[in-house]
């Protein structure tokens, strides 16, 4: 018992010592808690400060989000189209389809892409597959706009159903407002729509957004445009800006980057000539910084009408060579003149084979009277000889856009390769003037065009699958049993040349936001 008691006493004494040690440890731990909280608070404040100082600020722009891009978009980008001439735009086959597929391709390459739902067809769930694999998730949201000429207002309903915000606009400059006699007498014969085409300039008024992209409707977006947005939104010294700049394919990579970039575009290289110094801007794609002052500047010089007829040196806007090419008096000419002459060193010309890819020949192949320029790039040489004259011999190293790997193409503009809904394969045609055969025989790569057209039809197929599901079956995909024409490329949507199987319009109460999970 004594032994036992001794043992018990010893145990109690040991227990008291142990409790004292525990209390000491607890006291130290309790002292560490406030220290730990202070440290965590310090790092939290530091991280918040870091975010504030390293993200771009645009305090006047409500659409810009200054928080982690994985949670919220960096910004909401405006994407605009223009409906100018409804007699040719709203009634032709493919109008609805073009607007829907352009919007769908933009959605797929936005921050919302991951929220795009799977599609249940015939009680089986199928993930919506893409012809092009988006390898980079976008950090930007989007808003669609349709700038609709007043004469076409009645045709805007379908665009509204597709999620476009409708802006009804009249000519910003009418023929009678133009002072210059030559321009006033000839403007209405320019391009498709004459002075009405200037409604595209209203895109510059979308100042609720940091960036606007104006598109033609015969376009598909294959990859995110984040790199372009990043270099416009972030300061030139910011790591995100610098990294994006390294990835952007420019037409002239040897040129120094502007300190501030206000626009991106491509030139209409395939319509140019090696000895002409001035090229038009390709009208299907313009990325710009919205600004009322810029809009006003356009309107001012258009109304002034300082334009000289003809093509080449001494013609066009201010007699500086902006004349004679397609669209010179209209959109393609005024945009080129503005960024070249009125706001130089503020825009970047993108690689025409990667951005706004029309997939046409970029080499000069004749005619015989200009044989010395045979197989030269269809751009004015950047290099000069010791005597200051152009070094045409060096002007042969240009990419062949007819064979650019599709995985490298960011956006496609269906011009040379034909519009998908025309159900016609691009092919060399016999011209009336046999002297022009040099050009048309080499204009396109027919097989390559077929693959680009297939990209559009892949987008259409997945859009219809999603719309059928979102409408609870009210919208049915058309039967493709008769669409056997060039099925490898048209995917069953063409019954023959010109035999396009059009999309079914959505119901009037159809909410496209439900389909996209927005």
Per-residue pLDDT of the chain (518 residues; tens, 9 = 90+): 333 333 232 333 344 444 454 455 445 544 454 554 544 454 444 444 433 334 444 433 333 333 334 568 999 999 999 999 876 444 456 789 999 999 999 999 999 986 444 433 333 333 333 444 444 589 999 999 999 999 999 888 889 989 999 999 999 999 999 999 999 999 999 888 889 999 999 999 999 999 999 999 999 999 999 999 999 999 999 999 999 999 999 999 999 999 999 999 999 988 888 888 899 999 999 999 999 999 999 999 999 999 999 998 999 999 999 999 999 999 999 999 999 999 999 999 999 999 999 988 888 777 655 777 888 888 887 888 888 888 788 878 888 899 999 999 999 999 999 999 999 987 655 544 444 444 555 778 889 999 999 999 999 999 999 888 888 878 888 888 788 899 999 999 999 998 999 988 888 888 888 788 77
pLDDT at 92 (0 to 100): 53
In this structure, are 140 and 35 located in the same domain?
no
Q: Look up residue 27 and give its two tokens.
A: 């006291």
CATH of the domain at 161: 3.90.550.10
Backbone dihedral angles phi then psi of residue 340, each to the nearest 5 degrees: -80, -40
182: left (phi > 0), else alpha (psi -120 to 50), else beta? alpha
221 falls within a domain: yes
Q: For residue 64, is it within any domain?
A: no
pLDDT value of position 378: 84
341 lies in the same domain as 212: yes
Same domain, 298 and 443: yes
Peptide bond preceding 56 in cis form (omega within 30 of 0) = no
Do 44 and 150 belong together in one domain?
A: no
Pick left, alpha or beta for residue 318 (phi over 0 → left; psi -120 to 50 → alpha; otherwise beta): left
Distance of CA 216 to the CA centre of its chain: 10
Tokens of 435: 């002297």
In a domain, 87, yes or no: yes
C-alpha atoms less than 13 angstroms from C-alpha of 245 in its C-beta half-sphere: 21
CB contact at 8 A, 158 and 146: no
Q: How far, in Å, are 78, 100, 167 from residue 152 at the CA level?
A: 22, 18, 11
**Of 331, 348, 290, 287, nearest to 106 (Cα)?**
287
**Neighbour count for residue 250 (Cβ, 10 Å):** 16
67-70 long-range contacts (CB < 8 A, ≥24 apart) are 69/111, 69/139, 70/139
Judge whether 371 lies within some domain: no
- Residues 166, 39, single domain; the answer is no
In this predicted structure, what is the pLDDT of residue 425? 84
State the Cα–Cα distance between residues 475 and 465, nearest whole angstrom.
9
pLDDT of residue 68: 36
Give tens-digit pLDDT for 270-279: 888 888 889 9
Cα 10 off chain centre by: 83
Residue 409 sits in the same domain as residue 338: yes
pTM: 0.81
Helix (H, G, I), strand (E, B) or coil at 43: helix
Token pair, residue 7, equals 């043992």
pLDDT score of 387: 86
pLDDT in tens, 483-506: 889 999 999 999 999 899 998 888
Residue 314 and residue 416 in one domain = yes
- Count of domains observed in the chain: 2
454 Cβ neighbours under 8 A, 6+ residues apart: 131, 488, 489, 490, 491
Quote the pLDDT of residue 517.
77
Same structural domain, 42 and 87: no
For residue 82, which phi and psi values (nearest 5 degrees)? -130, 130
Task: Please choose, from the candidates 306, 348, 341, 311, the residue with its C-alpha nearest in 3D space to the C-alpha of residue 326.
Answer: 311
> Do strands 219-221 and 141-149 pair parallel, antiparallel, or not at all (unpaired)?
unpaired
Tokens 């040099």 -> residue: 438
318 CB neighbour count, 10 Å cutoff: 14
Question: Per DSSP, what are the bridge partners of residue 316?
Answer: 308, 322
426 assigned to some structural domain: yes
| Tally of residues, the chain | 518
Helix (H) / strand (E) containing 272: none
Residue 59 belongs to some domain of the structure: no
Task: Please give the structure tokens belonging to residue 172.
Answer: 């910003």
37 and 154 in a single domain? The answer is no
In terms of domains, do 138 and 101 share one? yes
Rounded to an integer, what distance in angstroms lies between the CA atom of residue 96 and that of residue 37? 59
Q: Which domain holds residue 243?
A: 76-115+132-362+399-516
Burial class (CB in 10 A: 0-12, 13-18, 19+), 446: middle
Residues 32 and 86 in one domain: no
Q: Are 323 and 315 in contact (CB under 8 A)?
A: yes
Q: What is the pLDDT of residue 48?
A: 42
Q: CA-to-CA distance for 99 and 104, rounded, in angstroms? A: 9
Which single residue is written with the structure tokens 């790997």? 405
Same domain, 30 and 106: no
Q: Could you tell me if 438 and 310 are in contact, meaning their C-beta atoms sit under 8 angstroms apart? A: no
**392 located within any domain:** no
Instruction: Say which residue the tokens 């990419």 belong to.
Output: 399
CA angle, residues 192, 306, 322, in degrees to nearest 5? 60
Conformation bin of residue 162: beta by default, left when phi > 0, alpha when psi is -120 to 50: alpha
Give the whole-angstrom CA distance, residue 331 versus residue 156: 22
Say if 349 falls within a structural domain: yes
End-to-end CA distance of the chain: 81
- Check: CB of residue 273 under 8 Å from CB of residue 343: no
């Amino acid at each position: 018992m004594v032994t036992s008691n001794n043992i018990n006493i010893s145990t109690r004494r040991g227990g008291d010592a142990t409790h004292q040690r525990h209390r000491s440890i607890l006291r130290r731990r309790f002292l560490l808690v406030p220290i730990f909280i202070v440290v965590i608070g310090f790092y939290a404040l530091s991280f918040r400060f870091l975010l504030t100082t390293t993200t771009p600020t645009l305090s006047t722009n409500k659409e810009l989000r200054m928080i982690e891009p994985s949670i919220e978009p960096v910004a909401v980008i405006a994407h605009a189209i223009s409906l100018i001439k409804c007699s040719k735009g709203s009634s032709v086959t493919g109008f609805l389809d073009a607007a829907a597929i352009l919007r769908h391709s933009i959605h797929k390459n936005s921050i919302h892409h991951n929220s795009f739902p799977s599609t249940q067809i015939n009680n089986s769930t199928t993930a919506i597959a893409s012809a092009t694999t988006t390898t980079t998730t976008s950090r930007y949201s989007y808003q669609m706009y349709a700038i609709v000429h007043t004469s076409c207002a009645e045709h805007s309903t379908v665009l509204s159903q597709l999620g476009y915000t409708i802006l009804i606009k009249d000519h910003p400059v009418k023929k009678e407002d133009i002072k210059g006699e030559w321009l006033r007498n000839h403007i209405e014969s320019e391009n498709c729509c004459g002075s009405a085409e200037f409604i595209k300039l209203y895109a510059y008024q979308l100042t609720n957004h940091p960036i606007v992209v104006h598109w033609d409707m015969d376009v598909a977006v294959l990859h995110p445009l984040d790199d372009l947005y990043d270099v416009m939104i972030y300061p030139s010294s910011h790591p995100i800006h610098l990294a994006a700049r390294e990835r952007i394919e420019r037409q002239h990579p040897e040129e120094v980057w502007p300190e501030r970039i206000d626009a991106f575009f491509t030139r209409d290289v395939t319509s140019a000539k090696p000895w002409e110094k001035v090229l038009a801007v390709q009208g299907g794609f313009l990325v710009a910084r919205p600004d009322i002052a810029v809009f006003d500047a356009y309107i001012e010089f258009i109304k002034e009408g300082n334009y000289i007829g003809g093509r080449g040196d001494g013609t066009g806007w201010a007699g500086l060579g902006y004349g004679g090419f397609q669209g010179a008096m209209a959109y393609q000419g005024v945009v080129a003149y503005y960024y070249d002459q009125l706001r130089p060193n503020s825009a970047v010309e993108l690689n025409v084979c990667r951005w706004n890819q029309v997939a046409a020949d970029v080499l000069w192949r004749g005619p015989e009277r200009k044989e010395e320029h045979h197989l030269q790039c269809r751009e004015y040489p950047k290099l000069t000889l010791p005597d200051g004259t152009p070094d045409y011999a060096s002007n042969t190293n240009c990419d062949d856009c007819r064979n650019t790997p599709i995985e490298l193409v960011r956006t496609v503009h269906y011009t040379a390769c034909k519009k998908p809904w025309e159900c016609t394969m691009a092919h060399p045609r016999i011209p009336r003037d046999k002297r022009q055969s040099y050009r048309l025989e080499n204009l396109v790569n027919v097989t390559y065009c077929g693959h680009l057209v297939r990209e559009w039809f892949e987008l259409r197929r997945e859009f219809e699958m999603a719309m059928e599901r979102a409408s609870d079956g009210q919208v049915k995909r058309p039967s493709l049993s008769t669409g056997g024409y060039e099925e490898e490329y048209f995917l069953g949507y063409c019954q023959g040349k010109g035999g396009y199987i059009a999309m079914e319009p959505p119901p009037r109460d159809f909410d496209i936001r439900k389909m996209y999970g927005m």
